[in-house]
Amino acid sequence: MKIIKTSSHTLSIWLLFLLFTGACAPLNSEDTTSARPVLFAEEEEKFPSAEHPDSSCSYFYFLWGSHAENNKRYSEAEEAFEKALICDPESRSILRRLPILLIRMARYDDAAKWLRIAIKKYPEELQDRLLLARLYIRSNKINKAIELYNELISMSPDDETLYLRLGFLYSEQNQFTKAEQIFGRVLKINPESLFAHLYFARLAAKQGNPEKAELWYKKTLAINWSVELVLEFAGFYEKQNDLEKMKALYRSILKKEPGELRAGLALVHTLLLQNREKKALQVLASLRKNSEDPTQIDIITARLYLRSDKLDKAEEILKPMTMDQKIPEATYMLAVIYYEQDKDDMAMDLLHSMRVGDDKFEDSLYLQVRILMEDGLDSQAIQLMKEALADDDLVSPNLYTLLASFYMERQQLDLCAALLDEALHKYPDNAQLYFEYGLLYEQNGSRRQAIAAMEKVLEINPDHAEALNYLGYTWADTNTNLDKALSYIQKSMALKPDNGYIQDSLGWVYFRMGELDLAKKEILKALDLEPKDPNIHEHLGDIYKTQGFPKEAEQAYKKAYELYQNNSDKTRLLEKIRAVQ
């Protein structure tokens, strides 16, 4: 032990140490976080009793333990605190300190045992029960936590916070009646309790009672208006799909705080859902006037112009941000505009100016590859991707999938397989790489292996929409597992509701199930989304043929024939056309 400075008090402590080292085992100076035997008196028979507690000894070890704890030598601190309790088993300060130390060491069960000891020794104290209740909640022992809060309320019947915590626990356990009773008791103690009103609102929303929830939210705001509360209220209306009330709440925030970005952007989003682009732009202009960071608003405004194909207006905003401020995201967006305008050289110049670590750098790399491929510069595109894969700062699973797709499109299946093997060695738990492997197996005619790869994708990511769609469509196409196929495709649709190919799969599984009207309805929706896909037109022809409408079937087949590029597909469609003529 190092003495920092000498004083009569320090010297006396040091002499006490010399006195007690003969009676107590030396402390372990090595810090480890591994659990070791501790003194539990639950257990209290094992706990040494002291008819004559030695406060000097206990204080010495308390100081020792505090010093060790402050220096993060937690095991040493634990041993010191235990020795302090041997000297004085009734020490309130140690019984308060030791559980907190054990929580720091992530030994929650041991901390709970010491808290139970403290509660037994000092039953009138509230803090030990409060801390123990939190540990029970952390360990998901909710019923024990509820029991403790009920004990605390009996000891402190006017403590509003205790009721709120208990009511919240009942609500989380879906014990709604008990939760309402508890929150009602809070309002008797304090009729203006903000949190009681808020919890009543959340409870009503959770119970599926929107009218009651709305009423409580309004009462809550009347007690204490705040941006956070209004945003939560708006989130409630969002779940009700009440866009007008959402807008009104966002505007109420902006009226009081014109620069409130969250409310402003939420209002913009809501207006866009209603296709009110002009109004959204007006909100953005107002936000810009009151914003401390107008650049962020300019980026969003440019995105909105891009979304509506107003490229000139987007370019006008982005040019100074690119040329003068050199903002990477603006540079990338301007490159996209030039690409859309067939100004490939200008786009590439901007993309080459971006550096590793810039926002949108990876996207800029993909756009470069796309431009090179469309310009017929395949070798340069491959070289760019290979250089990126060899760079530790650039390599990513997405880059591997990009190059793999490139090889697959060109029927270079051996190169594709070797690349994916290398990628999976680096990223063994990447769902998208397994998905690409599944597509490779499908293209190679190994459907069983393709299905296995897609099932592996769902093991890693159960919400992978494309894998769900692949499996669902494959089962529908082979007329097997139709119920499971429908379930998978419906989940895929929920994840990507505006995807025409998934919509087609839904129609196709209904066709296989004999639900022809439903099948036609979904296929027609798919054609609205993907009018140039020959497979969807062919599916529509199959449905019309099965329904007994040969002329409509012939028309759909002829459209599919026009769109197919492969000769074998065209031959198949000619046979179908002749069959319905």
pLDDT in tens, 439-448: 999 988 899 9
373: nearest Cα among 337, 339, 415, 327: 339
Q: Please give the structure tokens belonging to residue 157.
A: 């019947």
Contact partners, residue 59, CB within 8 Å, separation at least 6: 84
Label each residue of 205-248 as H, E or C.
HHCCCHHHHHHHHHHHHHHCCCHHHHHHHHHHHHHCCCHHHHHH
For 543-563, b/e burial (b = at least 16 CB within 10 A) is bbbeeebeebbbbbbbbbbeb
CA pair distance 532, 494, nearest whole angstrom: 23
The predicted pLDDT at position 356 comes to 82
CA pair distance 520, 533, nearest whole angstrom: 16
Helices (H) and strands (E) in the chain, counts: 32, 0
Percent of residues in the chain assigned helix, strand, coil, to nearest 5: 75, 0, 25
Please give the C-alpha separations between residue 175 and each of 151, 366, 455, 507, in angstroms, as whole numbers: 19, 52, 39, 42
Find out whether 383 and 391 touch, Cβ atoms under 8 Å: no
Helices (H), 156-209: 160-172, 176-189, 194-206
The predicted pLDDT at position 451 comes to 94
Q: Please give the structure tokens belonging to residue 502.
A: 């998934």
CA pair distance 468, 476, nearest whole angstrom: 12
158 burial level (CB within 10 Å; 0-12, 13-18, 19+): exposed
The predicted pLDDT at position 282 comes to 94
The predicted pLDDT at position 52 comes to 64
Residue range 401-437, pLDDT digits in tens = 999 998 998 889 999 999 999 999 999 999 999 999 9
Find out whether 268 and 280 touch, Cβ atoms under 8 Å: yes
Per run of 10 residues, the mean pLDDT along the chain (length 581 residues) is 37 38 43 43 43 81 92 93 91 91 94 93 92 93 95 94 96 94 96 96 95 97 96 96 96 94 95 93 93 90 91 93 90 94 94 88 91 91 91 88 90 92 93 93 90 95 95 93 94 92 95 94 94 94 94 94 90 92 86
**Amino acid identity, position 427:** Y
Residue range 69-110, pLDDT digits in tens = 999 999 999 999 999 999 998 888 899 999 999 999 999 999
CA pair distance 403, 397, nearest whole angstrom: 10
Q: Please give the structure tokens belonging to residue 72.
A: 């993060």
335: nearest Cα among 317, 324, 322: 322
Find out whether 188 and 198 touch, Cβ atoms under 8 Å: no
Positive/negative CA dihedral, 343, 344, 345, 349: positive
Indicate yes or no: pTM above 0.85.
no
Contact partners, residue 135, CB within 8 Å, separation at least 6: 103, 108, 111, 112, 115
What structural domains does the chain harbor? Answer: 1-29+36-125 (1.25.40.10)
CA pair distance 203, 529, nearest whole angstrom: 40
Q: What is the DSSP letter of 45?
A: G
Residue 163 phi/psi, 5° resolution? -65, -40
The predicted pLDDT at position 130 comes to 94
Q: What is the DSSP letter of 48?
A: P
Measure CA of the first residue to CA of the last residue in the chain; give whole Å: 101
